[in-house]
Amino acid sequence: MKKIIFVLICSAILLSPISVMASAFCDGWDKGFLDGFCYKRANCSEPLVPVCPTPLTGKDTYKDGYDLGFPSGLNAWRLLNCLPLPYTNMAQTSNYFIYLARR
């Protein structure tokens, strides 16, 4: 019984920095997605934000989450309003799908 408690405490201590990094990434993802969805739109009603993706190794900061969430929010607004994705943003969209494929 003592071993189980010891293992649980050690696991919590070791995994806590990972959850803090993931939460910063997810906070950035949430803010970036909402900013992208409502970009240059007055009276925008904010949507439900999709669950943030798992960050790649070394890409787990708030800024990384924001940088990934912003174009995703832009594209979500375009898709919900039946607008084609612009050619200039296709590189970001394809990078996002490549990002998802690497997970």
- Residue 15 has what pLDDT? 46
Structural contact between residues 98 and 73, judged by C-beta atoms closer than 8 angstroms? no
Helices (H), 1-103: 2-37, 62-80, 90-102
pTM over 0.85: no
For the stretch 68-85, pLDDT in tens is: 999 999 988 888 887 776
For tokens 């739109």, what's the residue?
41
- Residue 18 has what pLDDT? 45
For tokens 């900013």, what's the residue?
35
Spans of the chain below 50 pLDDT: 6-8, 10, 12-21, 88-90, 103
